[in-house]
Structure 1
């Protein structure tokens, strides 16, 4: 396939020679299927935060790489990821989204499963004996990292603690282990390829243009910079201007001295965990977006937060977030409309897109087994590492 060879040739380029991916990589169904098999069925994928599934029976049902799945909190307190497909004739058990059930009952023939996936009931079997132990729901690997829940369909990915070990030195300044409150929005359908949504989310290059009246006012492009990164994770940061100190949660005041609070609110730290997570740290809150592919030209976007403060955002804060999300949706969907262009060619990536280069090297490593560049550490990183 010509497209695969084109991507293979350029995706692992270093920043000095890096260009954008071929447009067809964002629209070709065959390439999309390759990504589903090599990336989304093979690697850790972010799902939700633990606080959203805090009570026994709380669940989140979704489809990932054509695999209907459910993450559910059992009566024993354990989070599990399992198939959301009845073992009888393949009917989805739970509607997609969040809910709470102690048992899962198939809407077709009422086969019934416990919250650990064990089959416990078969309606009207007649003279046929159904071996319940042989008809349990398949399980998938699940891990939680700082309250963020990830699943791995094939179960072969390395432990999250190993992969993200290099990030820990940056997180210490935020006392992220105290981020025990969580919230999340609804899945929002965008007519855009998942990579366009991720690339838009991880780079600050577009703020001055797309978010001129929203993010640029507080987090200007000219004050954004790279900290440290490589294929598996990247951290960038930026200086905040005109940031108000009002509305801080009481937990923050308990955790930090006034000097540290000032430091935590002088900059934001943006970190990306491919394939589908982008988070922004500010004070006592981590805001994030998750991108879930649905088709070559369609994705589900979901926002959420984890925080040390159990304080609901004000109406003004909600309106601000909604405004820049709508701007991101508009530019991503506009970008997607040109991804079938035959005349368009990949263009040079600039310094502020180094994080996009890291993301492309991640894709190359998963799709083609290439070796990414070693981590790049900017001189500014020292000021962000907690001593």
Structure 2
């Protein structure tokens, strides 16, 4: 249970236009409040649809205290459940992913359909009703080929982000992609530092030599403002829109998600060391030089939709100073490794960038842990995206404290 009085005092100490006080990045009580008021109440990116390619495919993840299970049913629908047997609470699936005709508890073999119904429970007493012991469902929705879950009893409306993200991502054919590669790293830093680092490119020139071969770090393109303030951004949007690619900057009224298409540097068309395509062009893309469609959704994902592949990033908090970052590279389903794409060439830029970001975040956390740390001022030109994220974060805590507790499992 969040101590709202103490949290309110911490919120009152935040200086506008400055980084957060140390307590927000180190205190277990603040971390618990983040889980309670944000992670358990908002829509969370869980997996790419391509990770669940056929009926019976499943993916597991842990969100705070909650082990979760995503599974594609025989009807093709993807559903989410608490990964907990209704008998004596055994975790049903321990693997990160797999394929199963039915969900069978490894403890006593209670057997569930992929839609969550309990099918079989051996030697139960007379009057036992299987219909009352199906898996506990979790809100589940898809947008832009991505699966989102929400633990709240009453989930926030998802219609607006789904409509916008589906429209912007449609030319990338997200339903027709496959997983080429996935990486998972643990960063010894608070989850907010991971998001803050992503929301600015002030650090890019000094930290990301491979990424900066192709990615344009112009703050007018990658900050919190409409990309049309950049001449290159405006020209790119006009070219892409004329070709039928939704590209113009759009952000939700609540500032929790955004879509915009921006250009690469020069003649580059992909995140590769030479800027050339890494994989065959995706169905629906009219040309290679479409840049990258940037899609973030707070609190846990940023994504890049290119002409030749798609990159998804999933952030999950493991503790006050530990965060898991999962990156998934997606290519068209009919592309063959070794013939149509080279895995090293496809992944090397963001593999390097992720490792560089890990070091940045961990050193940031180490500095903030010092008693000498005090919040410093943001650069409005370079760090407008960070300021926008922090404003969203603080507003989310305040709204969460004023609203009812809504975690379904409680």
| TM class, shorter-length | 0.7 to 0.9
Residue aligning to 1:294: 318
Render the CA deviation track for 1:30-66: whole Å, top value 9, x for unaligned. 1111111111110100011112102111000111121
**1:303 is aligned to 2:327:** yes
C-alpha separation in 2, matches of 1:165 and 1:7: 37
Deviation at 1:161, TM superposition (A): 2.9
**Contact 2:256–2:298 (8 Å) recurs in 1:** yes
Deviation at 1:77, TM superposition (A): 1.3
Render the CA deviation track for 1:191-221: whole Å, top value 9, x for unaligned. 221111122123212111111x211232253
Change (3 A) 1:240 1:22: same
**Contact 2:177–2:331 (8 Å) recurs in 1:** yes
Residue aligning to 1:219: 215
Residue aligning to 1:20: 19
**1:191 is aligned to 2:224:** no
**Contact 1:58–1:99 (8 Å) recurs in 2:** yes
**1:175 is aligned to 2:171:** yes
**1:240 is aligned to 2:265:** yes
Deviation at 1:345, TM superposition (A): 1.1
Render the CA deviation track for 1:150-197: whole Å, top value 9, x for unaligned. 00111423332314656678x27x723466203251432222211111
Residue aligning to 1:353: 383
Change (3 A) 1:353 1:102: same
Give the stretch that moved more between structures: 236-245 or 94-103.
236-245
Residue aligning to 1:154: 152
C-alpha separation in 2, matches of 1:289 and 1:217: 21
C-alpha separation in 2, matches of 1:270 and 1:292: 20
**1:71 is aligned to 2:70:** yes
Residue aligning to 1:320: 349
C-alpha separation in 2, matches of 1:250 and 1:103: 36
C-alpha separation in 1, matches of 2:359 and 2:176: 33
Residue aligning to 1:261: 288
Deviation at 1:273, TM superposition (A): 0.9
TM score, norm. by length of structure 1: 0.82
Change (3 A) 1:238 1:297: farther
Aligned length: 356
What SS class does the counterpart of residue 56 from structure 1 fall into? coil
Residue aligning to 1:279: 303
Residue aligning to 2:202: 205
Residue aligning to 1:117: 116
RMSD: 2.8
Render the CA deviation track for 1:269-307: whole Å, top value 9, x for unaligned. 433210101112332433121101111111111111445
What SS class does the counterpart of residue 155 from structure 2 fall into? coil
**Contact 2:281–2:309 (8 Å) recurs in 1:** no
What SS class does the counterpart of residue 18 from structure 1 fall into? coil
C-alpha separation in 2, matches of 1:256 and 1:222: 25
C-alpha separation in 2, matches of 1:330 and 1:205: 16
**1:341 is aligned to 2:370:** yes
Change (3 A) 1:186 1:88: farther
Deviation at 1:310, TM superposition (A): 4.4
C-alpha separation in 2, matches of 1:224 and 1:288: 23
C-alpha separation in 1, matches of 2:331 and 2:182: 15
Change (3 A) 1:256 1:217: closer
- Structure 1: 5+ residue stretches without partners: 371-387
**Contact 1:202–1:271 (8 Å) recurs in 2:** no
**Contact 1:186–1:302 (8 Å) recurs in 2:** yes
C-alpha separation in 2, matches of 1:191 and 1:128: 52
**Contact 2:144–2:165 (8 Å) recurs in 1:** no
**1:369 is aligned to 2:399:** yes
**Contact 2:140–2:147 (8 Å) recurs in 1:** yes
With CA pairs under 8 Å and 6+ residues apart, which has the higher RCO, 1 or 2?
1
C-alpha separation in 1, matches of 2:175 and 2:214: 24
**1:5 is aligned to 2:19:** no
Give the stretch that moved more between structures: 181-190 or 31-40.
181-190
TM score, norm. by length of structure 2: 0.78
Deviation at 1:247, TM superposition (A): 3.5
**Contact 1:57–1:102 (8 Å) recurs in 2:** yes
